[in-house]
Amino acid sequence: MRMRSCGARKKASTRPVGIGLTLQQVEGWRGQLARVTRWRERVVTAANGEPSADELDFLLAFFESAYHLRDWLVETGAVSNVEVDGYVASHIELQLCRDIANGFKHHSLRRPSIDAEFAIVNQYVPPQERGRRYRLPNGEWTILANGTQLGLVDLSERVLLLWNQFLTQRNPA
């Protein structure tokens, strides 16, 4: 016997049979932190390897993932939005992370933390300085924002350190 549809279809569940949870629910904010850490590892590997577009792509993916750890912490109830937003507001590195994440996600910033017109540039590094740090053949990816100038690889290191300090201090569930 063939069944006919009578009006609106019932939405089928996308949850796996048995556990009733999504991967996001199982991993929680710790899963997002693990992804942020893996993006940082990719940044370092790309920055120390042969020059390619991967370095910039991995940096941008890192900053998007790192800033959105904020959302994971709030949505899982690990911390309040007031607490995490206060922490972000107290660290220029996390504010720059927010601007990079939202600027590259949305194309432009309506409410920047630092500078709606920030620039990501490949800054020249003199030959005697090359190889001493992460580098492109002639330079390094740098953010210029409201008079601040920081290398993005170094900024990514500082952002991950700040998130880890925040989580260590609060020890959320």
CA distances from 24 to 10, 14, 37, 104 (A): 24, 13, 17, 24
- Ordered alpha helix ranges (H), 5-91: 23-48, 54-67, 69-75, 81-89
In the predicted model, what is the mean pLDDT of residues 40-46?
92
User: What H or E segment, with its residue span, contains residue 59?
Assistant: helix 54-67
Q: 116 versus 65: which is more confidently predicted?
A: 65
Burial of 126 (0-12, 13-18, 19+ CB in 10 A): exposed
Task: Extract the tokens encoding 50.
Answer: 């042969």
At 101-142, the pLDDT tens digits run 988 676 776 776 776 778 888 877 666 665 545 445 557 888
Q: Which two tokens stand for residue 101?
A: 């994440």
pTM value is 0.78
